Structures are given as C-alpha cells and as structure tokens.
Amino acid sequence: MKWTLVRYRAKPERADENQRLSAAVFDELSAKSPAGLRYAVFRLPDDTFVHIAMSDDGGPALSSFESFRAFTKDIRERCAEPPQPAEPAIVGNYGMLA
C-alpha cells in the first residue's frame, strides 16, 4: 500500500478552475470504480489544495486516468505555490482511513 500527499496553492483567479478539473477526476473514478485506489482532495480557504491518494499494490495509478492527466497538464500555470509531493507516514487513525 502506498500513500501520497500533495499540497499546493492555486492562484486565486485559477482556483475554481482547479477545483472543476479535480471534480472531473472524481466523476471518472465514480464511473469506473477502480479497485485498489482511494483518493480525496481538500480545498482550504487560502486556495491551498491537499490531495491524498492511497493505492494498493497492483492498484491503478491516478495517472492512468484521462481526467487526471487533463488535471495535471497545466497544474504549474494554475499554481501560486508549486505542488509539493510527499509520502506520509500515518501516525494515528481513528475511523478516518480504511
């Protein structure tokens, strides 16, 4: 199992566009229901976005989905602060994560 967390701040004038592109990823994931993949995106009041993805060994990568490739295509142009990926370690979990 692999966890990935990515944080960045969108330019204020591009934050809604970024959110729409993120929503399209969820539409595709809902339609295809891929096993072995979990994904969440959070938007903070300052237009910071936090993406959390978990993939089981052998599960599909987000990059294998067309909507995610469309989302990442111009991500740097939409950002005031560039994406900062990390592989987080879970310290504690009470009913939040499967």
Domain boundaries, the chain: 2-86
Tens of pLDDT, residue by residue over 13-64, are 999 999 999 999 999 999 999 999 999 999 999 999 999 999 988 889 999 9
Q: Is the pTM of this model over 0.85?
A: yes
CA 79/CA 29 separation, integer angstroms: 24
Position 97 scores a pLDDT of: 78
Q: Which CATH number fits domain 2-86: 3.30.70.100, 2.60.40.420, 3.10.105.10, 3.30.360.10?
A: 3.30.70.100
Spell out where the chain has E strands: 2-10, 37-43, 48-55, 79-86
* CA-to-CA separations, 20 to 3, 26, 66, 88, 89, in angstroms, rounded: 24, 10, 15, 26, 29
- What would the mean pLDDT of 78-91 be, rounded to a whole number? 95
- What would the mean pLDDT of 4-16 be, rounded to a whole number? 97
Position 96 scores a pLDDT of: 84
